[in-house]
Amino acid sequence: MKTIFSAILLTLGTIVFGLGICEISFPDAFSWTEVLSGIFPKLYRYGVWIGVAECTFATLLAVFAWFLDRAFARKGLETLFRLGIGGMFIFASWFKISDPKGFAILVAQYQFLPHDLVNIFALVMPMAEILFGFALIFTPFNRESASMIFLMFIAFMVALASALWRDLGITCGCFALEGAQDKSEAWTALIRDLILIGPTLWLTRLENRSLWKIWRK
């Protein structure tokens, strides 16, 4: 019975957490709060913070699931984090690989790397994202894959923080090549990365095993 309740809580937590990440990543394009926009026209401005609240609530659900059935919750969380984070990196790499020139222009806008390294970075980073995203999901080398993704999160956050500190007013460029538009998107990307770096760090501490073997024990 405890396992059933733990599974229910993890399922609800996964849905709420996914909604929260979408709220944070796409506050203008993805928001269930649009349903209430007619009554509260200014509510859309708080989509990011609603997303943070949803992620916090999802974390509480995961904690309760952990206390109900620690073994099941551990397997479930490891599976969900590997699928979610790995899938996100695969998705984020796709448009960069298809448009390396556009991605190089966006990287240059950060004014963070020496000019000679911009093109190399624009070619290597998307390949690293898709490689370690696939590795996190489909190989047993989750510790190594999660460690590399953790380092990429650190690099992203340093670049975003630097751009915000210097008031460059550029977009994140995480999921679309939109050029210099609105620095608020850099803030939302930084918040999202701060949330996701915790689960990624947790994955680096787990034993190496495939997703299949997680549920065989």
Q: How far apart, in whole angstroms, are the C-alpha atoms of residue 211 and residue 157? A: 28
pTM: 0.84
Q: What pLDDT was estimated at residue 99?
A: 82
Higher per-residue pLDDT: 58 or 47? 58
Mean of the per-residue pLDDT values of the chain: 83
The gap between the terminal CA atoms of the chain, to the nearest Å, is 19
> Given a cut of 90, is residue 203 above it in pLDDT?
yes
Q: What pLDDT was estimated at residue 179?
A: 45
Higher per-residue pLDDT: 122 or 60? 60
Listed by start position, the domains of the chain span 1-68, 78-217
> Given a cut of 60, is residue 62 above it in pLDDT?
yes
What does the pLDDT look like over 188-201, one tens digit per residue? 888 889 999 999 99
Q: What pLDDT was estimated at residue 35?
A: 53
Q: How far apart, in whole angstroms, are the C-alpha atoms of residue 48 and residue 58? A: 15
Q: What pLDDT was estimated at residue 102?
A: 81
Q: Which of 15, 17, 16, 20 is nearest to 51 (CA)?
A: 20
Average of pLDDT values for 203-215?
Answer: 91
Alpha-carbon separation of residue 83 from 109, 132, 133 (angstroms): 31, 12, 9
Q: What pLDDT was estimated at residue 128?
A: 93
Long-range contacts of 107-114 (CB under 8 A, 24+ apart): 107/173, 109/168, 109/170, 109/179, 109/180, 110/159, 110/162, 110/163, 110/168, 110/170, 111/163, 111/166, 111/168, 112/159, 112/162, 112/163
Q: What pLDDT was estimated at residue 191?
A: 87
> Given a cut of 80, is residue 63 above it in pLDDT?
yes
Provide the pLDDT confidence category of residue 42 given band limits of 50, 70 and 90: low
Cα angle for residues 24, 121, 92 (degrees, 5° grid)? 30
Q: What pLDDT was estimated at residue 33?
A: 52
Provide the pLDDT confidence category of residue 175 given band limits of 50, 70 and 90: low
